[in-house]
Structure 1
């Protein structure tokens, strides 16, 4: 087997008023319309003396997950990286950082 460089993606998305920043090996457009498929999650596999509680929370949340499907309109950014970083989750203020892609208007309940 050839010793080729393994690609790492950083994916930042919003879920339930939180901003998730995760690292994974696979990012593809899903067969389910409107979703991005994430696979091969990476969480601090190397030996570390200091444990980040935020990363540990994400590691347990994604424990046993083979693939995750994120709605396209919730993805803020996808970067191809040289190496993985620290996964994190933070509160989403909804102000200033990124303007979400406009969603289609909801139909009113009026006739």
Structure 2
């Protein structure tokens, strides 16, 4: 039997985050959703997704994430993990920090 996997979409500081987790419960804190067992891709090659790395840096050491119910947009039970994302709340476009380019000499 396959593990249950959830896609959690929520607002955080003007952005919409999409994370995957193994457990979602209403929890013991009133007004909060507990999200545990966060799932991140493991990359062994040279190609690294900057959004996935940013999410891993921010939430990698988190055992349980307590999200206010008001910030939750959607919780979906999915069959397999898709691409985690951070999107701009206003435009819906993916937020990716571009690789810094050298400044033009004057």
TM-score bracket, normalised by the shorter chain, equals 0.7 to 0.9
Q: Look up the match of 1:35.
A: 32
Aligned residues: CA RMSD: 1.8
Q: Look up the match of 1:26.
A: 23
Q: Look up the match of 1:107.
A: none
Structure 2: distance between partners of 1:64 and 1:86: 20
Match of 2:85 among 79, 88, 96: 88
**Misfit runs of 4+, over 2 Å:** 45-50
TM-score by length of 1: 0.76
Structure 2: distance between partners of 1:83 and 1:26: 14
Q: Look up the match of 2:101.
A: none
TM-score by length of 2: 0.80
Structure 2: state its 5+ residue gaps: 93-106
CA shift in 2, pair 1:48/1:80, >3 Å: farther
Structure 2: distance between partners of 1:34 and 1:94: 28
Does 78-87 or 47-56 show the bigger shift? 47-56
Structure 2: distance between partners of 1:44 and 1:86: 9
Q: Look up the match of 1:5.
A: 2
